[in-house]
Amino acid sequence: MRTKLSFLWCVWIYLCGSCVGRFVVEKNNLKITSPKSLRGIYECAIGNFGVPKYGGTMIGTVVFPRYNQNGCTKFNDGDTSLSAKPGSFPTFVLVDRGDCYFTLKAWNAQIGGAAAILVADDRVEPLITMDTPEEGNGATNDDYIEKITIPSALISKSLGDNIKSALKSGAMVNVNLDWREALPHPDERVEYELWTSSNDECGPKCESEINFLKGFKGAAQLLEQKGFTRFTPHYITWYCPEAFILSQQCKSQCINNGRYCAPDPEQDFSVGYDGKDVVIQNLRQACFFKVANESGKPWKWWDYVTDFAIRCPMRAKKYTEECSDQVAKSLGVDMNKIKDCIGDLRADVENPILKAEQDAQIGQGSRGDVTILPTLVINNRQYRGKLSKAAVLKALCASFQETTEPSICLTPDMETNECLANNGGCWKDKAANITACRDTFRGRVCECPIVQNVKFVGDGYTHCEASGPLRCAVNNGGCWQGSQGGRAYSACIDDHTKGCKCPPGFKGDGFHSCEDVDECKDKVACQCPECSCKNTWGSYECKCSNGLFYVRESDMCIGKYSASVSSGGFVWMLILILGIGGAGGYAFYKYRIQRYMDYEIRAIMAQYMPLDNQPENSNQVQHSV
């Protein structure tokens, strides 16, 4: 698809015989996690607008609207709002291709609250790249295009049909859009190129390109100076076929005897600047870069092109050699070297710089031909999406080998702040102020956090809970706890790896509530005829009538038979019972300590090696209260 340049091409297409190129549709992965019948990884094509989350992933639930299925009108009519409900996945709206621009669908989806848009192709064909409408194409009021920030993906007709029928049958379709491998990230230096033009008279497209250059200049220069990136600017050039070299068109649009041409900026040969002026200025800019690069300061190119755009615009009739030279001079480059590089524009000879540009235009390896202007190429793969500072920086950051990203990638400026709205759709414990949402340059991630060395585990979206030793120290492990009359109970047990369990004397789920068990009413204890039972919180009191003693361990009253023994004998007996009880208790205590320590050591060892002999019921080792 080379629609983007078609208005340029239509000027040249009849001249240009051998430029049928190879356009590469850049893709990312769409993984369906449910329903089971559709589970799998599918390819989708990245739209050339909005902000793809290069380096990151996004999870969402697919919604196919009941009305407005092509997304050509606004979704915001109350009941069809696409905003994700709190605690649920973000919404990916699925719309049909056709009837209006892709960009309009994306814009409607975004203002309707969708987190991403999936466009189902309406015909069986290989994936295509969704692009922005061309200028002068009746795209009324297209300043919304710049405001699109949600990512977009085109999916095949068959996948679209399958998702629709799954939704129709009531299934929930959850997908994961994955851009982690959409750009290569082989090493600690990123090579990137911008295919551009000095033409500043192409409407909003040119304006947004210049705004990008201005906005991105600082970051680009910093990255280049520190050696994190190697940037090269490129300029698309056309040529005039032999038969037309003497034609008026080729004369006004080309230099070096028809070798290097550019389309007329106004698409009108009779007014304003000619294609020739654009080629010459492009050549000057390319030469500026060459000379600056040779002097070890390639980043000066960014100053040059932004200054030129400000000081020498076509509409002020300053798009001239004189103005250009002034800008170059002010940046302190060697003007003679630039003159040498430009050479004789009228001579029937090759210009090494422009020849190299024409050759580089042909795709190599993973990179397709450059046919969209402007085109950003990162690590020899074409970037798709809007050219904005944040979006491009994100893509560059994702193109470093993991952990070698420069610090600019990790500054708050790069963070997406998606956690601020609706907690990014991630899990959150409001009471304890613990969240799974984290903003990174790769986009927001929902990952159960580590708080005070306690690891939380879960899906990060709907559920996270503390796990491992010490977990009860943070927010009581998310478990119930309560105190009354000086007693405190907790449902968190430190040596569970997770989960909560009400302490003895309580019942409940352990997370939200544990209720006192009424031992008297529930006939759990103290049920003998002589007993009088009184429930307390977490326990009970039992008294025996007739001067009998209640023995808690055996839950019975004794003393009738021992009362016949002499009072001294009774005291001895009591001492004996207490003695045996005490010794037994101590032994039991030692045993518990030993088991607990064994368990702890095992737990530590288990992190390093598999143990075949785990305690069969570890929750017997517990310390409540």
Q: Which of residues 340-379 bind ligand NAG (CB under 6 A)?
A: none
- Least distance in angstroms from the C-beta of 182 to ligand NAG: 26
Question: Which is nearer to ligand NAG, 284 or 290 (by Cβ)?
Answer: 290
Burial call 391-417: b when 16+ CB within 10 Å, e when fewer: bbbbbbbbbbeeeebbebbeeeebbbe
Q: Spell out a b/e string for 136-160, using b for 16 or more CB atoms within 10 Å of the CB, else e.
A: eeebeebeebbebbbbbbbbbeebb
Rounded CA gap, 42 and 58, in Å? 15
Report residue 238 as tokens.
Answer: 């056309």
Work out which of 53, 105, 276, 290 binds ligand NAG, going by CB under 6 A: 290
Residue whose CB is less far from ligand NAG, 433 or 620: 433
Q: Which is nearer to ligand NAG, 93 or 360 (CB)?
A: 360
Task: Kindly tell me the sign of the dihedral angle through the C-alpha atoms of 310, 311, 313, 315.
Answer: positive
Let me know the angle formed at the C-alpha of 520 by 515 and 523, rounded to the nearest 5 degrees: 100
Q: How far is the CB of 438 from ligand NAG (least distance, A)?
A: 11
In this structure, what are the phi and psi dihedrals at residue 582, rounded to the nearest 5 degrees? -65, -45
Pairing state between β 152-155 and 116-120: parallel
H/E element, 40 = strand 40-46
Nearer to ligand NAG, 3 or 232 (CB): 232
Burial 291-302 (b: 16+ CB within 10 A, else e): bbbeeebbbbbb
| Counts for the chain of helices (H) and strands (E), in that order | 13, 28
What is the DSSP secondary-structure string of 485-520?
A: TTEEEES--TTSSS---PPTTEES-SSS--EE--TT
Considering the complex, state which of residue 298 and residue 478 has its C-beta at the smaller distance from ligand NAG. 298
Burial of 480 from C-beta contacts in 10 A (0-12 / 13-18 / 19+): buried
Give the helix/strand (H/E) hosting 205.
Answer: helix 204-225
Where are the alpha helices (H) located in 85-203, listed in sequence order?
102-111, 157-168
Q: Which amino acid is at 578?
A: L
What torsion, rounded to 10 degrees, do the Cα atoms 583, 584, 586, 589 define? 180
Structure tokens of 433?
């102020």
Nearer to ligand NAG, 336 or 433 (CB): 433
Give the residue with the Cβ less far from ligand NAG, 59 or 338: 338
Judged by CB, which is closer to ligand NAG: 191, or 266? 191
Q: Which of 175/448 has CB closer to ligand NAG?
A: 448
Q: How many Cα atoms sit within 13 Å of 132 on the Cβ side?
A: 27
Nearest distance from C-beta of residue 298 to ligand NAG, angstroms:
6
Cα separation, 494 vs 618, whole angstroms:
11
Task: Examine residue 388 and tell whether it contacts ligand NAG (CB under 6 A).
Answer: no
Instruction: Enumerate residues 428-447 that contact ligand NAG by CB under 6 A.
Output: 433
Q: Where are the beta strands (DSSP E) in 139-263?
A: 152-155, 174-178, 190-196, 229-235, 254-255, 260-261
Please report how close the Cβ of residue 313 comes to ligand NAG at its closest, in angstroms: 27
Q: What CA–CA distances, in Å, run from 553 to 313, 410, 542, 556, 558?
A: 95, 62, 12, 8, 12
Binding letters toward ligand NAG, positions 295-314, x by CB under 6 A: ---x----------------
> What whole-number distance in Å separates Cα of residue 209 and Cα of residue 201?
11
**Residue of 80, 293, 320, 467 interacting with ligand NAG (CB under 6 A):** 293
The answer to whether the beta carbons of residues 392 and 220 sit under 8 Å apart is no
Number of residues that bind ligand NAG (CB under 6 A): 5
**Candidate ranges 6-14, 290-298, 373-381, 438-446; the one touching ligand NAG (CB under 6 A):** 290-298
Contacts of 203-206 with C-beta under 8 Å, sequence gap 24+, read 203/135, 203/136, 204/135, 204/142, 204/143, 204/145, 204/146, 205/132, 205/135, 205/373
Give residues 222-241 in contact with ligand NAG (rule: CB under 6 A): 232
Lay out the site mask for ligand NAG across 138-177 (x = CB under 6 A, - = otherwise): ----------------------------------------
Q: Tokens 């590469």 map to which residue?
A: 24
Footprint of ligand NAG on this chain (CB under 6 A)? 232, 290, 293, 298, 433
